[in-house]
Structure 1
Amino acid sequence: MWRENCIPVIDIKPLVDDPEIGSENALSAAKEITNAMEDFGFVTITNYDKINEELIRSLTECMTDFMKLSLEERKNFCVHDDDHGYFPASKDGKEGFDVRIRGINWPKDDGSLDGIFDTRCPTDHFQAAAKNYIHLISSLAKILINSISKSYNFGSKLNDIMPGHRSFLRVNYYPPRESAWTSGSDNAPLNCVEHFDSGIITLLYQDDVGGLEVQNPHNDEWIPVKPVPGSLIVNTGRAFERMSNGRAKATKHRVRFTPNITRFSIPYFVQPNPEGEFWPFGIKEEDRKYEPVKYLDWYNTNIRRYFPEYSQRSTK
C-alpha cells in the first residue's frame, strides 16, 4: 500500500451511526481503520460533520487574536508543570495553546463530559470554543477507541484505563516566516520536527495550507498528507503500538515549512489515566513483546526524547 504514496481516506459515518459496531457497514469501516493503522499508522477520515468549518474558524480566530498580544502578555498564560496553557516558539517556530478538561469519565453515552475545565484561557470566547471542540472531538475519540478495542480483542482493558484520562486539545500556530529550521536527516525546511506521537491516537485537523508529511518506514521517503476538505486525520501513537503488540504502527511525521504563510492545526491527543498500566492487551503472556508500563512514565520518557523543550510538561 505504501507504494501508492498516499494514506487511505475512510468514510467514518458507519461507525458514527453504529458505535457499538453491530452492522456490516460499521464492521467494514472498523476493519478499514485497523488495516490503515497496521499498514500506515495514519488515516484520513471523512463524514464526521460535527467538527465543521464554523467550529474550527471560531477556535482559530481566538488563537489569531491571542497571537496579537505581545510575547510577554502571552507568557502570562504559560503553565510549565502541566500539559495545558501557552507554549512559546522553539527552534521550529511553532507556538501553541494546550487545553484540557480534567476528565473524571470518558464521554457518557449522551456525549456529555464530567470534569473540571482547568486551563486558564485568554478570553471567555476562547474557553467556550475550546470546550465545545473538546466535547465533540472526545465523542469521536470514544467511537474510535471502541472500534480499536473490538478489532484487537482488547475486551474492556483499554476502556478500563480511560477514566481520569489526560487527553488534551492543542491549537498550533505557525507564523509566517521567510526561513526555517532544517531537518538533520534530509535538510528539508520544517515547521515541526520529525517525531512520533506518544499516546493512544491523535485526531488532527490541518488547514488547507497542508505541510504534514509521514515517513514510509520501508524506504524512509517522506509522503505528503494532502488536505481533504471536511476531514480529520487519525494517527497511531506509540502507546497504542505497544498495546497492539506491534501490529499497529506508530509512524514518524513532521510538518514541512511553507514560507510567508500562516498555518493552523488542531490535534487532540488521546491519552489514558497517567497512573494506568498498559501492555499488549488480548495477547498471551508468552507472546507479548512488551512489559507492562505506567503511562505517566511512558509519556515522560517519550516527550523528553522528541521534544526536550517540553520535558517539564507532564500529564499529571
Structure 2
Amino acid sequence: MPLSMSTPGLGPSLPPTTELLASLANIAQRTDSAMTNAGLLSVLLQGSKLPEIYVQPEQDRPTKSHDVQSELEVELPVVDLSAFNSADGPLRDAALAKIVRACETWGFVQVINHGVDIELIEKCEAEVHRLFQLPVCIKENALRVPGALYGYGANFWLNLPAMNWAESFHINKHNCKEYAAKLWPSDYERFSSSVEKYITQVEDLGHRVRRVLTEGLGLEAGHFDNYFTEEETVSTLRMNFYPLCPEPSKALGLKAHRDPHFLTLLHQDSTGGLQIWNESRDEWFNVKPRTDSFIVNVGDVLQAASNGRYRSVLHRAVVNSYKTRLSMACFFNTSATVVAPSELITPENPQRYRPFSWKEYIRTAYTFTTGKVSQLDELYAIQSSSAGATEQ
C-alpha cells in the first residue's frame, strides 16, 4: 500500500488523526520493511514512544550517546594528503606512517586536503537534503525493495532484529539520472549533475588513498591497479538521513557492522553519530565530526588484500532527539577476484584468506549479525590461521 500522507511543509496536508494512526499501524505490521520511513514517523510521533519496529534488543542499544563529551570521544588521526605531493621526504614519510598506523589500529583515518571540491560537497549535500525532504509518496517512486541494490528505503540485512532509524538512498554514477528522473521527472539534472560529479571526484580520492595504502604495505603503489581498471572499479553512494528520534537510547541509526567493501569514503555534517568499536578497550568510541575531512575506513576486501594487516572494524551510527544528521558514504570496490600478494605472505604471517570476488562475497556479506568474528573470517579465513585473523 503506497503511503499518501506527508509531513507539514513537505507535501499535501495530513489526513485526519484516526486515518493517520491507522496508516501508521499498517506500516508497522509490514514485515519486509520496504515502506517504513523513519523521517515520516519522526515528525508524526515526536515526543511519543519509539515504534516497536525500531526498538533494538537490549544488548545492541547505545550505552553512550554521541552528545556526551567525555574521554570516549576521539578525533581520528588526521592525515594531510598534500604531503604525498611534497618534495619534503620526511614530511611524506611521516604522513605515510600515520595513515598506515591508523588503518592497522583503528581501521579508520581522516584525510584533509583531499582534492574533492568543497563547493561541490556543499552543493551535493543541499541536493541530498532536497531529496529527503520530498513527500514520501514521491520518494516511493524510487523505492528500494528487499533484494535490490539501488533506490530509496531501508538498509537491509538478513536477521535484522529491528529497523534502523534512518532513511537511505543508494545510487551509482551510471544510474543517477535514471533514479533522479523518478523523483523529479522534469528537473532531474539539477540533482544528477551534482551527484555524478561528486561520485567521480570521490572515486579519484579512493584511487589515490588506495595507492598510498598499497605503498604502506611495502608494495609498489600501483600493485592493485589491475583490480581497479575502469571495468573493474565498483562505486556506490549511500546517502543517509538520520531524523530526530523520540527515544534515542533504544534505537540505532545504523546497526553495528563491518563494511564488506575495499574502502569506504565518508563525508558527514557537523552532527556527531559515528561510533567505532575498540577491541583492546572493549568499548564504543564517539568520533568527533570534522566537516573539512573525509573519513576513510578499511573494508573486508582490503583486510583480505593486505593479508590482515589493515583491519575492518565494527562501527555503527547512533541518533539523538535534538538535531538531524546527514552523511554520504561512497563504497569503493573492485569486481576482480582478490588475493593477498605473495610479498605479504611469510612463515610468520601465512596466507589468511582464500581468494574471493565481490560478486561472490556480496551474496552473504549482509547475513551476519554483530559478533566478535567477522563475516570475512567466518566465510574466507584459511583454517590454519583463522584463529588469529583479527588479532593485532
TM-score normalized by the length of structure 2: 0.65
2:278 is equivalent to residue 211 of structure 1: no
Which stretch has the larger CA shift, 195-204 or 144-153?
144-153
- Indicate the residue corresponding to 2:289 in structure 1: 227
Structure 2 residue aligned with 1:262: 324
Q: 1:50 to 1:220 in 2, by over 3 A?
A: same
**2:245 aligned to which of 177, 183, 186:** 177
One-letter amino acid matched to 1:177:
C
For residues 42 and 82 of structure 1, what CA distance do their matches in structure 2 show? 28
Q: CA deviation at 1:198?
A: 0.7
Instruction: Report the AA paired with residue 169 of structure 1.
Output: L
Counterpart in the other structure of 2:171: 99
Match of 2:207 among 131, 142, 155: 142
Structure 1 vs Structure 2 CA RMSD: 2.7
Larger radius of gyration: 2
SS of residue paired to 2:239: strand
What is the letter of the counterpart of residue 166 of structure 1? V
Q: Is 1:7 aligned to residue 70 of structure 2? A: no
Query: Distance in 1 between the 2:361 and 2:190 partners?
Result: 34
**In the alignment, is residue 31 of structure 1 matched against residue 89 of structure 2?**
no
1:278 has 2:318 as partner: no
Q: How does 1:185-204 map to 2 (within 5 A)?
A: 189-204=251-266
CA contact (8 A) 1:100 1:168 kept: yes
Distance 1:291-1:85 versus aligned 2 partners, 3 A rule: same
Deviation track 1:224-272 (CA, whole Å, cap 9, x = no partner) reads: 1101241111111111111111111111111121114221001111110
Which shows bigger deviation, 203-212 or 276-285? Answer: 276-285
Q: Which moved further from structure 2: 205-214 or 156-165? A: 156-165
The aligned counterpart of 1:69 is 134
SS of corresponding position for 1:136: helix
Q: CA deviation at 1:37?
A: 0.2
Q: Output the CA distance in 2 between the equivalents of 1:260 and 1:6.
A: 22
Tell me which amino acid in the other structure corresponds to 2:164. D
- Equivalent residue in structure 1 for 2:298, among 221, 236, 251: 236
Give 1:300 shift: 2.7
Any conservation in 1 of the 2:173–2:200 contact (CA below 8 Å)? no
Aligned-residue offset at 1:46 = 1.6
Query: Corresponding residue for 2:43?
Result: none
Structure 2 gap ranges (5+) = 1-70, 157-162, 371-392
- State how far apart, in whole Å, the 1-side matches of 2:282 and 2:339 are: 28
Stretch moving more, 293-302 or 125-134: 293-302
Q: State whether residues 6 and 223 of structure 1, in contact with CA within 8 Å, keep that contact through their aligned partners in structure 2.
A: no
Long gaps (5+) in structure 1: 103-115, 183-188, 308-316
The aligned runs of 1:103-118 (5 Å cut-off) are none
Work out the percentage of aligned pairs sharing the same amino acid: 24
Distance change >3 Å, CA 119–CA 167, structure 1 → 2: farther
Q: 1:294 aligns with which of 329, 352, 357?
A: 357
CA distance, structure 2, for counterparts of residue 177 and residue 191 of structure 1: 9
How many residue pairs get aligned? The number is: 281
**1:49, 1:162 → 2: CA distance?**
19
TM-score (norm 1): 0.80
SS in 2 for 1:62: helix
